[in-house]
Structure 1
């Protein structure tokens, strides 16, 4: 199987997680951010992640990929229930977390930003969406203060060593990618329980954190 992703993309992390959690081999291809040709050729538009299955058929959409791999390769490992409280808190965090993340993504050592053209492409597209990167970077203390409060709330939901609800579930597939990306923010301190959760799930899913590159 072939999996086309960006390393920083939370939707791609969802797909990468299920392969790691189930120890299923996959050939991972990290596309340059300005590569429009490859995804368009595969699925008709510029999106990731994209899975090319063993039979050659192609599947986009992160949760479709997660569910397909979980149900077709060995026994399913994910509970499918997602509590509305988790959805609401995640929606709150993601309503502003990109203001912290997008200015930092382009400074990380990740393959999708290996060229200046890819960086410029991302910057142009995303500033049209979130606003000026420099302004948001300079507002880091304000966003961190808000995030600290929300992460404390989220920490209260961590019931397992590497799961939010005693065993692995779709909640973890939704939440971990967001938290993993936030490890690129220098000065962010996760609540102890949440920090342990992030590190353990990183190990199990074989998705590296950005802690060593934090900006």
Structure 2
């Protein structure tokens, strides 16, 4: 079994989470971000994650999560995410993107080691979100908004000791935010992230950095 991913991608982190939480043996393969041929050859589209197993190739992160979830016959990611958590994620999505998207093409992630991959990502995302320089210029305002939002999140945090579908939605977003310099996480949020990262075997970005 192979799981093709990008390390920066929250949807890919979703698909990786069951591997760690359920001790599923699979090879995680990081593709270069500018590699179009490989994913298109597997599922007909340039998108990840992609699961390759005896049944063939599967895209769509939540479909992959649910397929991995039932391997041991003890599903824990069934049901629907908490409505209040979905509202929080939707409300703050634009702020998250402002902070994370322009910082994502960073060689800290294996898919961006090749400068061509950085150029490819930058061109694609700037066409959607605008020039990265303009997004970076909004950092102070966006960071203050995000820190206020993280304070609000404390009351909505899932229980990291009892993983559920809520974690599949929340943890990848929080992990992505750990690339943002000087973003302060409230202690309960940091404790949640640290425990979930350990259990998922998916380290926070700040812990991957070479200081």
Is the structural similarity TM-score above 0.5? yes
**Which residue number in structure 2 is paired with residue 11 of structure 1?**
11
How far is the alpha carbon of 1:35 from its aligned partner? 0.4
CA contact (8 A) 1:186 1:214 kept: no
Question: Which segments of 5 or more consecutive residues in structure 2 lack a partner in the other structure?
Answer: none
Contact map agreement 2:84 2:156 (CA 8 A) in 1: no
Partner of 1:187: 182
Contact 1:3 1:49 in 2 (8 A): yes
Task: After superposition, give the CA deviation of every residue in 1:181-211 in whole Å (9 maximum; x if it has no partner).
Answer: 1011111111111110000000000001111
* TM-score using structure 1 length: 0.93
Give the CA deviation at 1:168: 1.4
**Cross-structure match for 2:117:** 118
**How many residue pairs get matched?**
210
- Secondary structure, aligned partner of 1:80: coil
Shift of 1:79: 4.7
Distance between the aligned counterparts of 1:192 and 1:122, measured in 2?
33
In structure 1, the residue matched to 2:203 is: 208
The change in CA–CA distance for 1:159 and 1:34 in structure 2 (over 3 A counts) is closer
For structure 1, the 5+ residue unaligned runs are none
Q: Deviations over 1:145-176 (max 9, x none)?
A: 1111111111111253x16xxx3111100000
Does 1:173 find its partner at 2:168? yes
Q: Name the residue aligned to 2:156.
A: 157
Q: CA RMSD in A?
A: 1.6
Q: How does 1:31-180 map to 2 (within 5 A)?
A: 31-53=31-53, 55-158=54-157, 160=159, 162=160, 167-180=162-175
Q: Deviations over 1:71-96 (max 9, x none)?
A: 12342233523121110101112222
Aligned to 1:23: 23
Q: What displacement does 1:179 show?
A: 0.1
Deviation, 1:214, is 9.3
Q: TM-score under structure 2 normalisation?
A: 0.94
Query: What is the rounded CA distance, in whole Å, between the counterparts of 2:187 and 2:210 in structure 1?
Result: 18
